[in-house]
Structure 1
Amino acid sequence: MPSEPHTAPPQAGPFTDIHRGNWVDRLLPASVAPYARLARLDRPIGTWLLLFPGWWSLALASPAKPDLWLMALFAVGALLMRGAGCTVNDIVDREFDAKVARTATRPIPSGAVSVHNAVIFLGLQLLLALIVLLQLDRFAIALGVASLALVATYPFMKRITYWPQAFLGLTFNWGALLGWAAATGSLAWPPVLLYAGGIAWTLFYDTIYAHQDKEDDALIGVKSTALKLGSATRPWLILFGTVTVLLWALAFVGAGLGWPAYVGLAAAALFLADQVRRTDLDDPADCRAKFNAHRWLGWMLLAGILLSPWLG
């Protein structure tokens, strides 16, 4: 696609989600770096959060011998679809992003990438993701295509509801359904329960994330659970975490997993409880750090599932 001038971002205050001097600046040409940032390649936490439900589900379907080819396909697909989702989000939210300190330096509001080129980049990512999806069976392909409705509508939810985090949960945990479908050619209660628990998990971590922007969001009219729940956020986090753990426990029971899976789940529960206790919801940097730490919960759960048939 045509290169664009690598324009300097506006001064947007000290707290920004664009960090200069990382591998994107060191290794990529100046004309390519803004697209890597648009796809959030420099911030992989979103890819992990999108990937883990799919990996959990693949492992849940066959914990003794998970399909490594499918796990690799899901990793590539998560990278591409997370990038596509971020690109859609940034196109739709470009005017809002320009008014928020944390997001004003993103490629589109800063002028580093035009909307026209962002749309072309989006099409390229979706094409590559489709190629990955076509490696699965027909049922899984149809299920994967159905998720596009969520990807397309999620960016608009913050305009119409204080619960956009619930819609993000519906979108980001779709892999819990898709993984089981790819491994078995069908659906069953364990992946459905895993999916439902994942939605509650997303409500937990993304409510913390939303507290980064609550002051700016209130000024520009964007809605979030952080604004809805306000000072009552911590009790709600307890509820979200409890529902998460209970639904995942039911998924494990339904899949017949052994005790290592429940050890992993117990570790995840302690992780959530610690975040409820220690997160400073008025400190954007701490909210970001707590959000980023959720990749460790993903590994805890995956390790427990995979060890279940060998130690349980």
Structure 2
Amino acid sequence: MNKLKINTLGKYIQLCRLDNPIGIWLALLPCIASLIQASDGIPNLNRLFIFSLGAIMLRSIGCTINDIFDRNFDCNVERTKNRPIANSTISVINAIYFLILQCIFCIPLIFFINKNCLLLSILLIPLIIFYPLCKRITYWPQLILGICFNFGILMAWIDTRNNLSLSAIFMWLGSIFWQIGYDTIYAYSDIKDDLKIGIKSTAILFKESGKKYISIFYILTIIMWTINGILLSYNRLYFLGILIISIHFIWQVFSFNINLTFNDDKYKNIKIFRSNLLIGVIVTIVSYLGLF
């Protein structure tokens, strides 16, 4: 019985991707960087905890919603066929109950953010719901995901300062372009399956020109984050970090192979995607070091 409960718990952990935390880090680190920037290097520990928990919960909720909507697609995609709803180890009704429980768990968080931040967070809800549906109607689901994933940047700033500065907007835009770039790399893993089942993505849109467009989005990321640093009057350490990020982006583009699928890219293209954790770490660190 205990083994059965552990296995069941494991399936729900898998459903909300807590067993694969790279997505949590990619959402959380830019948010922490924004908290550091908005607080002049010393973020409130309570606020740091609330936004970290919020990033984990919102990402988990997004994954649950995504898997409910995509269950009939996921079972036909090599990378996603073993997801709990797709392989029927979690029923749709139980997934909905779990989603309601996740939302209830998030309710107390609203009492720890200010009114303007709360209003901003309300705008995020329809975007989270719309993301899995937009893959059916647009080749730009990575854009919608980038907006959702990085909303914490704006929320962190407005909760800390009760206003929204131009520097925060540039940080947000840069993070969106960054996400479109790295998530396009990720999307190439599924391109053959997605074409068969009718799912749209930037990978399908860009086709053989993937490296060129990923390069453009990474260049836009560097420009946006550089402007962010200029507006915040950051020192050379920040811009040194941006230079290191630029070099890493160059490595990603040259190493990326658009012709590899999930079966043969898990040790290359997926590794390149996961290497963006380093980008998040660097931008967070230099957001602090750039102040001094």
TM-score (norm 2): 0.94
Unaligned runs of 5+ in 2: none
Bigger drift between 125-134 and 86-95 goes to 125-134
In the alignment, structure 1 residue 282 sits paired with structure 2 residue 262: no
Aligned residues of 1:206 and 1:291 also touching (Cα < 8 A)? yes
- Distance in structure 1 (CA, Å) of the matches to 2:100 and 2:202: 31
Match for residue 297 of structure 1? 279
- Distance in structure 1 (CA, Å) of the matches to 2:88 and 2:214: 37
Match for residue 308 of structure 1? 290
- Secondary structure at the aligned position of 1:159 is classed as coil
Identify, as 1 or 2, the structure richer in helix.
2
Instruction: Return the match for 2:78 from 61, 79, 101.
Output: 101
Which structure 2 residues correspond to residues 1-312 of structure 1 after superposition, within 5 A? 29-283=6-260, 284-285=265-266, 286-310=268-292
Residue identity in the other structure for 1:269: S
Q: Which stretches of structure 1, 4 residues or longer, exceed 4 Å deviation after superposition?
A: none
Aligned residues of 1:260 and 1:305 also touching (Cα < 8 A)? no
- Secondary structure at the aligned position of 2:113 is classed as coil
Residue identity in the other structure for 1:164: P
- Distance in structure 1 (CA, Å) of the matches to 2:12 and 2:117: 29
Offset of residue 92 of structure 1? 0.2
Offset of residue 253 of structure 1? 1.2
Residue identity in the other structure for 1:177: L
Offset of residue 88 of structure 1? 0.2
- Distance in structure 1 (CA, Å) of the matches to 2:110 and 2:185: 32
Aligned residues of 2:30 and 2:284 also touching (Cα < 8 A)? no
Residue identity in the other structure for 1:297: I
Structure 1, residues 3-44: CA drift from partner, whole Å, max 9, x if none?
9x97xxxxxxxxxxxxxxxxxxxxx71121110000001100
- Distance in structure 1 (CA, Å) of the matches to 2:247 and 2:44: 30
Structure 1, residues 143-172: CA drift from partner, whole Å, max 9, x if none?
112111110101111100111111111111
Aligned residues of 2:208 and 2:258 also touching (Cα < 8 A)? no
Unaligned runs of 5+ in 1: 7-27
Residue identity in the other structure for 2:277: R
- Distance in structure 1 (CA, Å) of the matches to 2:148 and 2:134: 12
Residue identity in the other structure for 1:224: S
Offset of residue 130 of structure 1? 2.6
Residue identity in the other structure for 1:133: I
Offset of residue 127 of structure 1? 1.9
Residue identity in the other structure for 2:65: V
Match for residue 23 of structure 1? none
Aligned residues of 2:30 and 2:283 also touching (Cα < 8 A)? no
What percent of counterpart residues are identical?
33
Bigger drift between 52-61 and 241-250 goes to 52-61
- Secondary structure at the aligned position of 2:290 is classed as helix
**How large is the RMSD of aligned CA atoms in angstroms?**
1.5
- Secondary structure at the aligned position of 2:63 is classed as helix
Q: How many residues align?
A: 286
- Distance in structure 2 (CA, Å) of the matches to 1:72 and 1:300: 20
- Distance in structure 1 (CA, Å) of the matches to 2:54 and 2:167: 22
Residue identity in the other structure for 1:290: I
- Distance in structure 1 (CA, Å) of the matches to 2:271 and 2:104: 33
- Secondary structure at the aligned position of 1:161 is classed as coil
Residue identity in the other structure for 2:180: L
